[in-house]
Amino acid sequence: MSAAPDWAGISRLIADGVRVDRGDRVSVFATDPSALPAVTAFVTEAFRRGAVPQVLLTDEAFDAAALAYADDAVLAEPLPLEAAAMRWSDVHASFRAMVPPHEASDDARAALLRRGRGVVSTMRWESTRWALVRIPTPGWAELIGTDADALMAEWARSFDADWTDARARMTELCGALETADRVLIRDADTELLLPTRGRRWVPFAGEANWPDGEVATAPLEDGVEGTIAFPGTTIYGGVRIRDLELEFRAGLAVRASAAEGEGFVRRLLDTDAGARRVGELGIGTNAALTTPVQDLLIDEKILGTVHIALGRAYPECGGVNRSALHWDIVKDLRGPSGTLAAGTIELIADGVCQPSLTSAAVCAL
């Protein structure tokens, strides 16, 4: 069995990223008891800095009971204690252990549950300095058919960077991307154009999402055109989605199909008026992450991947789309025909990351 991660060191990185300081009110969510070693280390670090941390168990296992018995109105509303925690907090950290999902049998109710969770997510994003930390578990390794020790070791390596240096290099890449009017994603099953003229690209280098390492922008809301396919399986909100394909016209997702989970996807697209638009375009830059794990928060950081998020846009990028939904969907372009280009800047060609992208890669290379 491999050694446990350096939870104290990881907690210092997270606390630095959200700038925990004396007097800060820090809400901490744990989604499963297996996350408690990380939570304990972070709470210890928060107290050491003079902050006031409070922990709430938001175990995803409770979702199965909610889906089975709660009224629709209850599902669609934010959980009161979680919402109160966001109103109370200066800082928020959510430690999300990767546990095999419950099986949601009713697509409509599962989408209502995501709507309620999305309200809390919006409160976190708008009013706190926040971090989300996704943590592998043996159960998840078994689910995706990989070795648990190897998965945890890869995850731990993804923290091991000089994040100040990484931010400088990623900022340089963002400056280059801002000279382009549009981004093209192309593969054997995909051709998607995303206009980005006038939008700001932002580096995510050790602040909000852990593992970290991506650059992102907000495409123009009414200009996304084409189709994009996501082969394989991803899991969102406890629902398996397999072989998803989306078609966009004038910025709107006008068609969605999937071999599994299609009904759930259609419900997500009907969350609200902004759910059918692309709020984010992101490019993974973390070279320590190489194994797709069917989890969005990790897979979106893999060097050689690109992702779009349906719904809420980042206003710091110039985006104006609002939604309770922010659903990241990851496409792996490391196959033989994968292409990613921003104007004349080649980022990925024939599945190979180009120097324009690898110069900003973190944790390796």
Closest CA to 57 of 38, 82, 76, 75: 82
- Do 40 and 138 fall into the same domain? yes
Q: Which of 157, 188, 212 is the last residue of a domain?
A: 157
Cα gap 159→54, rounded to integer Å: 25
Per cent of the chain over pLDDT 90 is 83
Beta-carbon count within 10 A of 319 CB: 23
Here the tokens at position 310 are 């349906």
Domain of residue 99: give its range.
7-157
Task: Count up the domains in the chain and report the number.
Answer: 2
So what's the pLDDT on residue 365? 63
- Do 171 and 192 fall into the same domain? yes
Has residue 104 been placed in a domain? yes
- Do 116 and 61 fall into the same domain? yes
Has residue 118 been placed in a domain? yes
Cα gap 267→255, rounded to integer Å: 12
Spans in the chain with pLDDT lower than 50: none
- Do 16 and 131 fall into the same domain? yes
Has residue 363 been placed in a domain? no
Tell me if 163 sits within 8 A of 143, measured CB to CB: no
- Do 260 and 311 fall into the same domain? yes
- Do 304 and 168 fall into the same domain? yes
Has residue 43 been placed in a domain? yes
- Do 226 and 268 fall into the same domain? yes
Ranges of beta strands (E only) in 33-136 are: 52-57, 91-97, 129-135
Characterize the bridge pairing of strands 91-97 and 25-30: parallel
So what's the pLDDT on residue 103? 67
- Do 230 and 266 fall into the same domain? yes
Tell me if 57 sits within 8 A of 48, measured CB to CB: no
What pTM was estimated for this model as a whole? 0.91
- Do 29 and 167 fall into the same domain? no
Q: Which of 112, 142, 157 is the last residue of a domain?
A: 157
Give, in order, the Cα–Cα distances in Å from 134 to each of 29, 61, 244.
Answer: 12, 16, 23
Tell me if 338 sits within 8 A of 346, measured CB to CB: no
In Å, how far from its chain's centre is CA 270? Answer: 20
So what's the pLDDT on residue 208? 84
Burial class (CB in 10 A: 0-12, 13-18, 19+), 285: buried
Has residue 113 been placed in a domain? yes
Long-range pairs for 49-52 at CB < 8 Å and ≥24 separation? 49/15, 49/20, 49/21, 49/22, 49/24, 50/21, 50/22, 50/23, 51/20, 51/21, 51/22, 51/23, 51/24, 51/25, 51/26, 51/91, 52/23, 52/24, 52/25, 52/26
So what's the pLDDT on residue 63? 85
Q: Which of 113, 132, 157 is the last residue of a domain?
A: 157
- Do 141 and 244 fall into the same domain? no
Alpha carbons within 13 A on the beta-carbon side of 115: 24
Cα gap 247→118, rounded to integer Å: 24
Query: Which value, to the nearest 10 degrees, does the dihedral of the CA atoms of residues 159, 161, 164, 166 take?
Result: -100
- Do 230 and 273 fall into the same domain? yes
- Do 218 and 269 fall into the same domain? yes
So what's the pLDDT on residue 97? 94
Cα gap 10→33, rounded to integer Å: 18
| CATH, residue 36 | 3.40.1830.10
Has residue 289 been placed in a domain? yes
pLDDT digits (tens, 9 = 90+) for 208-260: 889 999 999 999 999 999 999 999 999 887 788 999 999 999 999 999 999 99
Annotate 170-182 with b (16+ C-beta within 10 A) or e (fewer): beebbebbeebeb
Ranges of beta strands (E only) in 85-201 are: 91-97, 129-135, 182-187, 190-195
Has residue 252 been placed in a domain? yes
Tell me if 327 sits within 8 A of 338, measured CB to CB: no
Has residue 205 been placed in a domain? yes
Closest CA to 150 of 165, 168, 136: 136
In Å, how far from its chain's centre is CA 143? Answer: 20
Cα gap 7→45, rounded to integer Å: 10
In Å, how far from its chain's centre is CA 286? Answer: 13
So what's the pLDDT on residue 1? 54
So what's the pLDDT on residue 207? 87
